[in-house]
Amino acid sequence: MSFLSDLLNGVLEIDPSADAIDYDGAWYSWGDLGNTIRAVQAELAELGLGEGARIGVFVRNHPDVLAGVLSAVGVDGVMVSINPMLPEDKIRADLERLNLPVVIGTDVDLERPGILPVLEAAGTAIIETQPVLEGARLRPGFEKITGKNIAYTQPGVIIEMLTSGTTGTPKRIPLKRDAFLQSFRSAMSYEKDRSPDDPPRLRSGVQLLTNPMAHIGGLWGALNTILGGRQLCIVEKFSVESWADAVTRHRPVVAGAVPTGLRMILDANLPADVFSSLKALRTGAQPLDPAITQEFLDRYDLPVLQNYGATEFSGAVAGWSLGAFRKYYKDKPGSVGRFQPGVTGRVVDPETGEELEPGAEGVLEMKARQFGIGDEWLRTTDRAVIDEDGFLFIKGRADNAIIRGGFKVHPDDVAATLEKHPAIREAVVVGIPDRRLGAVPVCAVMLKSGADEPDNEDLKAFAKQYLAAYQVPVRWKIVDDVPRTPSMKPALPQVQDMFTATESETA
């Protein structure tokens, strides 16, 4: 058995009667969690599956799903994430390609239209959990693996993680087992009261899971909390109300939300006593407007500790500690912090690959053991700056530039400028095809609560004050929200569809 499975089994055996998971206002014990994990593992054994087996899991924020993920970890299998937030046709197409020996899920996902016929055709067995944490069973009619093209194993892999699909079709990234374990052990070393060599034990405090486990940050947070012996409050879907309720009931020292969630929290103007237990907020998954950080500081004296990571990196690779934030952030607004120990970064010219001087903007490259590629540099798709003190600034994506008549428009830069408008809570800029110029920028706008709605001419006039003419969006839509990925990032292809579905645009 591996380090993670030994740690999991040790934690589950310490005090089965103690509370482990708060979900929907009810507590479930370590024994409840352990019993469901063992029930899933018994069914895996019945199917002849164990170490190295690919185990599909419909990943949503739910205790039964967490038990399924931990079951795969506990038998040293390969957890294959299936995202139930995708449209049904996308899920069906994904399952058809995967050829899994088994999937684990709850009725709410298994019984969605067309899912069972696809699994039946593939010859995939099904383990369904019994809500909530009441065990698991092989689903009648799906008790055996019957497929002829089943892909049973993925050597050297611990998780096949589906990306969020912000800029297009989601990709499945195989995370190497050795690299993931190295990253996990390193992260444990950074915690004040925790070492990789500690024996399993139960720790005080409740961690909140508000980010989706379908995203690497949410999955990492859930695994780290349970394997660390801490209690976990699972919030199935983020809302300001659910977040504030969890913070108020559990009084954590640190809580988190993605940048979009932080915007919503600020816009709700919650009373200061909601935040009274908190020493910091953590965030990641998408760019953070420095104005959000400053407003939390001004209104609540509450630091926002941003990190930088991705599925491809097996988690975070840079971030802020509370001490470093208090010491340096005033002089480094907008930074995502410094690289974690063991991670080396540089900025290079995107055309020549030449390393650039500190303070120059280029494409970020990194190397670390957790990438699983030895001593090679991993080129990202992010534009970045590393200053002379080693602080990292992410400037936007290098791969979603809009080429308008030969001029390059970076949507993130335009959106950040537009969000300085006093009425705008969030702006999402995308490119759409244009017959004459190739592509042009358009913008979906979400307003702050209570703000007067600006008209298109007002928005265009504001943009012209701060942007070059070719950067100014040619069309605007004021919306309540835009389509989003499970990690609450704007789903850019669907935002483009909002502008292209009904009319074409010329500049």
Q: What band does 506 get if pLDDT is binned at 50, 70 and 90?
A: very low
Q: What band does 489 get if pLDDT is binned at 50, 70 and 90?
A: confident
User: Has residue 71 got a pLDDT over 90?
Assistant: yes
List helix spans (H) across 172-239.
177-190, 216-227
Peptide bond into 132 cis (omega under 30): yes
CA dist., res. 154 & res. 73, Å (int) = 14
CA dist., res. 141 & res. 96, Å (int) = 19
**Domains, in order of start, for the chain:** 3-15+28-181 (3.40.50.12780), 238-341+366-374 (3.40.50.980), 402-500 (3.30.300.30)
- Specify the pLDDT at position 77: 94
What does the pLDDT look like over 195-232, one tens digit per residue?
A: 777 889 999 989 999 888 988 888 888 998 999 899 99
- Specify the pLDDT at position 503: 52
What does the pLDDT look like over 229-269, one tens digit per residue?
A: 999 999 998 999 999 999 999 999 999 888 888 988 998 99
User: Has residue 166 got a pLDDT over 80?
Assistant: no
What does the pLDDT look like over 351-402, one tens digit per residue?
A: 899 999 999 999 999 998 778 778 899 999 889 999 999 999 998 877 788 9
Eight-class DSSP state of 373: S
Q: Which of 265, 287, 400 shows the shortest CA–CA distance to 334?
A: 287
Mean pLDDT of the chain: 90
Instruction: Give the tokens for residue 387.
Output: 């200053």
H helices then E strands: how many in the chain? 15, 25
Q: Which of 291, 290, 307 shows the shortest CA–CA distance to 343?
A: 307
Q: Determine which of 7-11, 252-256, 313-317, 429-433 has the lowest per-residue pLDDT on average.
A: 313-317
- Specify the pLDDT at position 231: 96
User: Has residue 505 got a pLDDT over 50?
Assistant: no
Instruction: Give the tokens for residue 51.
Output: 């170490």
Integer-rounded Cα Rg, in Å, for the chain is: 23
- Specify the pLDDT at position 235: 94
Neighbouring C-beta atoms of residue 495, cutoff 10 Å: 22
- Sign (positive or negative) of CA dihedral 208, 213, 215, 217: positive
Instruction: Give the tokens for residue 19.
Output: 């509370």
Instruction: Give the tokens for residue 263.
Output: 């915007």
Q: Which of 160, 183, 178, 121 shows the shortest CA–CA distance to 309?
A: 183
User: Has residue 502 got a pLDDT over 80?
Assistant: no
Percent of the chain topping pLDDT 90 = 64
Cα-Cα-Cα-Cα dihedral of 376, 382, 387, 392, to 10°?
A: -90
What does the pLDDT look like over 423-445, one tens digit per residue?
A: 999 999 999 988 888 889 999 99
CB 464 within 8 A of CB 494: no
What does the pLDDT look like over 16-54, one tens digit per residue?
A: 999 999 999 999 999 999 999 999 999 999 999 988 999
Amino acid residing at 446: M
CA dist., res. 239 & res. 234, Å (int) = 13
| Per-residue b or e along 172-191, where b marks 16 or more CB atoms closer than 10 Å to that residue's CB | bbbbbbebbbbbbebbbeee
What does the pLDDT look like over 94-150, one tens digit per residue?
A: 999 999 999 999 999 999 999 999 999 999 999 999 889 999 999 999 999 999 999
- Specify the pLDDT at position 169: 65
Q: What band does 504 get if pLDDT is binned at 50, 70 and 90?
A: very low
User: Has residue 507 got a pLDDT over 50?
Assistant: no
- Specify the pLDDT at position 325: 95
